[in-house]
């Protein structure tokens, strides 16, 4: 799909409250930009993300990104899949860090393209620290995280004053040997819980929430490949979460959304269906 060139971003006046010590509009050779690709739909990329992709000499990208997004980089740019998926990494994180450093030291403009947002379960913090330690300039371009993209696509508000006064984003994939998540923090019914990378731990997650006071009938939504043409949403109850995933053969990447806000999605679907029938 052809995308028109974007107009240049207007300069920030010197001394304004939003100015920075360096010109943040310039992608300098020998620097790295961590770019959030959003949840899947190329139309949800930010203007800055498209700009940086168009300037890249080297693109290190995650699995499952839409090919249309990869095509936004120049044809001559090197494209390297570094394969970040839960529990299945093409390269160890340390090797990815070193690639970023090596390409930048070679004077190239390096884009590290990540699904969702670089700083939310995207290892962006680790890469920023490694680059800073190596003296490599690094910019971060935020992206729409999967939870926000899924909420918008499904009409499923993550907070609602009649249902949830807060929302927690957690990962179900933890480093080996790390202590277990304190599920007592997520047991209140007035809070929506969104679990990234939680399919393999769904049975444990459900049992821990139930053990810490969540109602077995708490609504859950499992969103597979949010904001893509293959998006699928399956709803059920917390007590049967793991069985639902198995019965529906849900595959990664998928989000678990747990809380009474899920009923609002179901109400919206029913109202839309009623409008179509009438």
For 50, phi then psi, to 5°, come to: -60, -40
Tell me how far CA of residue 249 lies from CA of 167, 197, 223, 232, 243, in angstroms: 27, 15, 12, 11, 10
Give the Cα separation of 9 and 41 in Å (integer): 23
Crossing angle between the packed helical segments 93-105 and 124-133, to the nearest 10 degrees = 50
Contacts (Cβ under 8 Å, ≥6 apart) of 187 = 209, 212, 213, 214
Let me know: does 117 contact 95? Beta carbons within 8 Å. Answer: no
Let me know: does 162 contact 140? Beta carbons within 8 Å. Answer: no
Q: Point out the residues that are catalytic.
A: 62, 84
């Amino acid at each position: 799909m052809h995308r028109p060139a974007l107009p240049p971003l207007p300069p920030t006046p010197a001394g304004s409250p939003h100015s920075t010590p360096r010109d943040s509009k310039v992608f300098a050779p020998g620097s790295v930009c961590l770019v959030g690709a959003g949840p899947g739909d190329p139309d949800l990329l930010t203007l800055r993300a498209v700009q940086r992709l168009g300037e890249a000499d080297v693109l290190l990208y995650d699995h499952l990104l839409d090919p249309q997004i990869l095509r936004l980089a120049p044809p001559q740019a090197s494209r390297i899949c570094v394969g970040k998926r839960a529990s299945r990494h093409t390269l160890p994180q340390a090797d990815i860090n070193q690639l970023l450093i090596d390409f930048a030291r070679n004077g190239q403009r390096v884009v590290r393209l990540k699904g969702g947002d670089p700083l939310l379960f995207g290892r962006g913090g680790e890469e920023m620290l490694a680059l800073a330690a190596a003296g490599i300039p690094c910019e971060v371009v935020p992206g729409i995280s999967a939870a926000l993209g899924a909420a918008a696509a499904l009409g499923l508000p993550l907070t609602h004053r009649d249902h949830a006064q807060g929302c927690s984003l957690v990962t179900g994939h933890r480093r080996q040997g790390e202590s277990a998540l304190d599920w007592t923090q997520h047991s209140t019914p007035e809070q929506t819980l969104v679990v990234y990378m939680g399919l393999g731990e769904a049975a444990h997650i459900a049992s821990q929430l139930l053990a810490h006071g969540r109602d077995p009938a708490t609504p859950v939504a499992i969103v597979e490949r949010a904001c893509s043409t293959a998006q699928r949403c399956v709803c059920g109850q917390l007590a049967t979460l793991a069985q639902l995933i198995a019965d529906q053969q849900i595959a990664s990447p998928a989000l678990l959304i747990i809380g009474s806000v899920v009923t609002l999605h179901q109400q919206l679907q029913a109202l839309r269906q009623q409008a179509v029938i009438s």
